[in-house]
Amino acid sequence: MDILSLFVIVPVLTILALVFTKDLKQARITAMIGSLVQLGMAIHLIFSYFEERAVNKSIMLFTQDRVWFEHFNIHFATGVDGISAALLLLTSIIVLAGVFISWKIDDLPKEFFISLLVLATGVYGFFISIDLFTMFVFYEIAVIPMYLLIGIWGSGPKEYSAMKLTLMLMGASAVLLVGILGIYFNSNANGGALTFNILEISKVYIPFVAQKLFFPLTFIGFAVLGALFPFHTWSPDGHASAPTAVSMLHAGVLMKLGGYGIFRIAMFLLPEGAKEWSWFFIILSAIGVIYGAFGALKQTDLKYINAYSSVSHLGMVLFALLMLNKTAWNGAILQSLSHGFMTALFFALIGMIYGRTHTRDITKLGGLLKVIPFISVINVIAGLASLGLPGFSGFVAEMNIFVGAFQHDELFYRVATIISVSAIVVTAVYILRVLGIMLMGPINNAEFLDLPKTTWYEITGILLLLIPMIGMGVAPLWLSDMIMASIQPFIKGVLKF
Amino acid sequence: MDFNSFIILRQEILLLAITLGLVVGEIFIPKNKKRYIVHLALFLFGIHTIVGFCNIEESSLFGGMFRTNNMIHLFKNILNVGVFVLLLQSADWIQEKVIGQNKGTEFFILMFSSLLGMYFMISSGDFLMFFIGLELSTLPVAALVALETSKRISSEAGVKFILSAGLATGVSLFGISLLYAATGSIYYNDVMTTLTSNNLTLLGSILFFSGLAFKISLVPFHFWTADVYEGAPISTASYLSVISKGAAVFILMILLFTVLKPLMHIWQTIIYVIAVATMFIGNLFALRQQNMKRFLAFSSIAQAGFILLGLISGTQLGTATIVYFVLIYIFSNLAAFGVVQAISLQTGKENRDDYNGLYRTNPNLSLVMMLALFSLAGIPPVAGFFGKFFLFAAAASKGYYFLVFLAVVNVTISLYYYLLVIRAMFIRKSEDPIPFFKSKIYMRLGLIIAVIGILVLGLYSPLYDYIFELSTIFNK
């Protein structure tokens, strides 16, 4: 059994084991063991990646290929580069943290963990695939459990939010399907056989007319998941209604599928289409960056604030990807990883605060630093990381993005960059405002004087997310190396036009 | 007729023997033992299904009126398996409700006669045999629709069905006569060689097409569907939406790809328009349905629209994807109707709101329903996803990207109403949920086979490859 297929097999085995569990205790232990194994595998993968990379210079490592549907030339083909290996690690950490955060889920615990792991399976499968068809299959597998997760265990207008999120994301995937079919039926342009394999398609020159037609379809198909303005509206509602662990996984991991897909499929396979359309989508993503930041400024519900902040931060990812140069790309991938840890940590903290105070309205909170110091301090750290303070992951990422973006000497790109950069100021404002109102000041509700202490599983969950976040900020080089090496083929393939 | 003819006709002869055997059984089995007829019929049909899997040679009989080959044989087997699962799911209902009214045997006789008609229809080598098959497959169903004579709505549905069916087959027959006038023959092979594109043949083929469009319930021939499904017993509705539709799609595909091939550029335009209309009307009307049978009726209209995407390509890929999709569709829809049947039999409830909170009382039934609906909606990893993806690929391979785009818009619309049922079962809570119950063995077996089909058909790829290889037969 090769090292990558295990990323699908282990979660599936965990799901099977979960089917036979009887109550919450058994379910959470099973889910925890399964996710621990996955984390171990991801760490192991990173080390093997470095060993292998030293001797092997091909684009994808650990490639495996099994024929699935022969007549369509569909393969179960797997392989990773530095980007997907890092994202696999991110996923496994957040899944484990999510299991810890959901330690006390009381309603239908077995079904909850099963749905959570189905989602995880989809994400793992997506990141290891190098076959368009398999990727698409896993993409849909990752999206559909969200409906049940939000609908059953969510809060507030959960039926509405779940339906909105599912329909928008599945609608996007439907558009993506047309794009994928378009790529597939043009993949024989150099006289070869039709293929879904990304590496083989990248060697083919797809006719310019087709690139121009299918790039926007493929791009939008993924960008909806990356909360591109104006398709971001599922995100605030969905995140606000979802249970804590689901918000973490969704904002932390699932939304990264969007950026990754754009990079790996839309841009890598349709480079001229990307050139042709980039101006249009740069405008949209720059609006998203600004709009998300101002949206967060206006909200009073903690989850809405974080959701809008995600729209803004992921807008930066899309913005950087569209800038089509390597510094910005490096920043985009770092931002994806950094935002993954950061936002998951935020949602975990919001869940803990809500679990204690039963409100997410910041106007009703106050002085929490005095009663729950641990959660509050971590909240400050996460907040500072989010506004891009040096020493944390966010700084490295945003620095790269804007330095890269500013390298374009055309006026349009410069203006777009300047507008987007200004969002950083707004980010600082809304984060400091939230922290100030929520943590400082007098305690304005007598019930808050006696809040429960943090438990061991909450601390474990927090530390799991905090350590890599600080690690990325303090020692970004190893990660940067890994990403830079993996960007090389993109530079060769995409930037030559 | 020599012995060899019997071998070629063995599916038909065996089914006829079973039907006649049941007629005799009806006479000789005493009244208090009548319920054994269900076991007997199931047993006999089970044997018939298994015998069907023996190989068959490509051959024709009666001077080319009747022909068979591996693809046609495969399709008969698909229909057999579908009917067998359907009978398993209906067994309890027949024992509890139908035997008491002394109509148990009639149910089987009518259904088997109709199936026999379908055999002849898809094996036909000329328009006469086709028409006999079409009539034989349609008329018994009218009686099946009106089986619950005590219910007014059932009789009404029967009348509606027979009137619309009569009109459609009449128009179809007129189309055949025009084609005969233009080509001077009713044999497929002769028609194919002499058919040229002119106004007469065009009119003839459009009129002829309407008869099959009625059976597949394509827009604008869909008006009977919802009312008939609602009024008919669930078994009949299931039969109409699964078996009857599958057979009609299959013969339509054969005729379009072989006999009417000279008119391809024309019927492709017609199919394009009908596909768009069928998908949109089926899906938009399904959105507001409360009754599960009406809901599945509109859902099956929409699914028929998707099937047309494979048809429009007119290639081997199209043939293979259509057969594959129909196979998957049969299992998915049988699972959905099976759950509706089980619940209706136990509680008499057929509305979506009655399903609120079903997962908490009957988790297994809810899971079966969820898998069936996911398969109909086309969500991986269940089979429906693969079926739909390949159908769309068949249309895209001929450059119909805009049609595929419209289809995926419809997939998203359809997802909404499938999720409504899932919402009722899993998310909503109910003051008065359907209490826990255990279905009898036949029903459980029927549901299990359907679920295995849904899970295996997509992931197990050699099956698709097998169908693809067979489909060269109609695309020489």
- Model confidence pLDDT, tens digit, residues B346-380: 888 888 888 888 888 888 899 999 999 999 998 88
CB contact under 8 A, B412 and A166: no
CB B409 within 8 A of CB B330: no
Chain A touched by B405 (CB under 8 Å)? yes
* B405 vs A166, A170, A178: nearest CB: A178
Distance CA B385, CA B400 (A): 19
- Name the phi and psi angles at B178, rounded to 5: -65, -40
Distance of CA A297 to the CA centre of its chain: 22
Distance between A123 CA and the closest CA of chain B, angstroms: 14
A429 lies within 8 A of chain B by CB: no
Please check whether residue B411 touches A, CB under 8 A.
Answer: yes
The DSSP output letter for A253 is I
Q: What CA–CA distance (Å, rounded) separates B212 from A69?
A: 32
Q: In whole angstroms, how far apart are CA A260 and each of A314, A329, A489, B146?
A: 11, 11, 15, 57
pLDDT at A457: 86
Q: Based on the number of CB atoms within 10 Å of its own CB, is B377 exposed (0-12), middle (13-18) or buried (19 or more)?
A: buried
Task: Using CB atoms, pick whichever of A137, A159, A175 lies closest to residue B423.
Answer: A159
Please give, one letter per residue, the 3-state secondary structure of B281-337: HHHHHHCCCCEHHHHHHHHHHHHHHHHHHHHCCCCHHHHHHHHHHHHHHHHHHHHHH
**Residue B476's pLDDT band (cuts 50, 70, 90):** low
Report pLDDT for A376: 86
pLDDT, one tens digit per residue, over A247-300 is: 888 888 888 888 899 988 888 888 888 888 888 998 999 998 999 889 888 888
- Over residues B111-162, the pLDDT tens digits come to 999 999 999 999 998 899 999 999 999 999 999 998 888 888 888 899 999 9
Q: Cβ B379–A166 below 8 Å, yes or no? A: no
Kindly report the backbone phi and psi dihedral angles of residue A197, in degrees, each rounded to the nearest multiple of 5, phi listed first: -75, 125
Tell me the C-alpha distance between A347 and B291, whole Å.
41
pLDDT of residue A361: 83
**pLDDT at res. A396:** 80
**pLDDT band of A404, cuts 50, 70, 90:** confident
| pLDDT tens digits for range A430-471 | 888 888 888 887 777 777 777 778 888 888 888 888 888 888
Give residue A496's pLDDT band: very low, low, confident or very high (50, 70, 90): low
B427 close contact with A: CB closer than 8 A: yes
Q: Is the pLDDT of residue A424 over 70?
A: yes
Q: How far apart are CA A128 and CA A5, in angstroms?
A: 8
SS3 assignment, position A68: strand
Cα nearest neighbour of A121 on chain B:
B381
Mean pLDDT of A407-426: 85
Say yes or no for a CB contact (<8 Å) between B380 and A137. Answer: yes
- The pLDDT value recorded for residue B322 is 92
CA atoms within 13 A on the CB side of A475: 5
Beta bridge partners of B67: B60
Nearest-angstrom CA–CA distance, B115 and B86: 13
Question: What whole-number distance in Å separates Cα of residue A219 and Cα of residue A271?
Answer: 12
Calculate how close chain B gets to A148, using CA atoms only, in Å: 7
Judge contact between A179 and A218, C-beta under 8 A.
Answer: yes
**Pairing relationship of beta strands A61-69 and B59-61 according to DSSP bridges:** unpaired
Residues in chain B with CB shorter than 8 Å from the CB of A71 are: 320, 464-465, 468
Q: Which residues of B touch A167 (CB under 8 A)?
A: 412, 415-416, 419
Question: CB distance A182–B396 less than 8 Å?
Answer: yes
Do A185 and B320 count as a contact with CB atoms less than 8 A apart?
no
What whole-number distance in Å separates Cα of residue B421 and Cα of residue A377? 45
N-terminal to C-terminal alpha carbon distance within chain B: 30
CB contact under 8 A, B408 and A175: yes
| Cα–Cα nearest to A408, from A418, A398, A422 | A418
Are B401 and A178 within 8 A, CB to CB? yes
Between CA B454 and CA B463, with CA B457 as vertex, the angle to 5 degrees is 165
pLDDT tens, position by position, A3-51: 888 888 888 998 888 888 888 888 888 888 988 999 998 888 888 888 8
ipTM: 0.91
Tell me, yes or no, if A158 comes closer than 8 A to chain B by beta carbon: yes
- Run of H or E residues at A77: strand A74-80
N-to-C CA span, chain A: 40
- Average pLDDT of B269-294? 90
A182-191, B291-300, B392-401: the lowest-pLDDT one: A182-191
Long-range CB contacts (within 8 A, 24+) of A53-58: A53/A82, A53/A482, A53/A485
Name residues whose C-beta falls within 8 Å of residue B231's C-beta, 6 or more positions apart in sequence: B145, B151, B153, B154, B155, B156, B157, B158, B160
Q: Which of B380, B393, B409 sits opposite A140 (nearest CB)?
A: B380
- By the CB < 8 Å criterion, does A185 face chain B? yes
Minimum-distance CB partner of B396 among A74, A152, A181: A181
- Give the mean model confidence (pLDDT) for residues A234-241: 87
- Residue B265 confidence class, pLDDT cut points 50, 70, 90: confident
Given a cut of 90, whether residue A398 has pLDDT beyond it is no
Whether a cis peptide bond, with omega within 30° of 0, leads into B462 is no
| Distance in Å, alpha carbon of B445 to nearest chain A alpha carbon | 21
8 Å CB contact of A148 and B427: yes
**Contact across the interface for A177 and B461, Cβ inside 8 Å:** no
Segment (H or E) for B449: helix B441-459
What residues of chain A lie within 8 A of the CB of B393, using their CB? 72, 181, 184
DSSP characters over B145-166: HT--TTSHHHHHHHHHHHHHHH
Q: Rounded to an integer, what distance in angstroms lies between the CA atom of residue B321 and that of residue A193? A: 19
Tell which residue, B300, B246, B235, has the closest CA to residue B77. Answer: B246
Query: Any idea where the domains of chain B sit in the sequence?
Result: 3-474
Q: Are A375 and A349 in contact (CB under 8 A)?
A: yes
- Name the B residues in 249-288 with CB < 8 Å from any A CB: none
Q: Residue written as tokens 């039709």?
A: A194
pLDDT of residue B249: 92
CB contact A178 to B (< 8 Å) = yes
Residue B302, helix vs strand vs coil: helix
CA closest to A144 among chain B residues: B379
Q: What is the rounded CA–CA span in Å between residue B433 and residue B74?
A: 43
CB proximity A166 to B under 8 Å? yes
Average pLDDT on B240-259 reads 90
pLDDT confidence of residue B348: 84
Tokens 């359809």 correspond to: B414
**For testing contact with chain B, the best of A178, A211, A234 (most B CBs within 10 A):** A178
Predicted confidence band of residue B98 (pLDDT cuts 50, 70, 90): confident
Mean pLDDT of chain B: 88
Any A CB within 8 A of B416 CB: yes
What are the residue ranges of helices labelled H in A186-243? 198-202, 208-223, 234-241
Domain ranges of chain A: 6-494
B2 band by pLDDT with thresholds 50, 70 and 90: confident
Residue type, position A300, single letter: T
- Closest chain A residue to the Cα of B427, Cα to Cα: A152
User: If you ran DSSP here, which 8-state letter would residue A131 be given?
Assistant: B
Task: Indicate the pLDDT class of residue A206, thresholds 50, 70 and 90.
Answer: confident
pLDDT of res. A497: 57
**Helices A477-494/A271-298 angle, 10° precision:** 140
Q: Would you tell me which residues 108-147 of chain A have a C-beta closer than 8 angstroms to some C-beta of chain B? A: 133, 137-138, 140-141, 144, 147
Confidence at B30, pLDDT banded by 50, 70, 90: confident
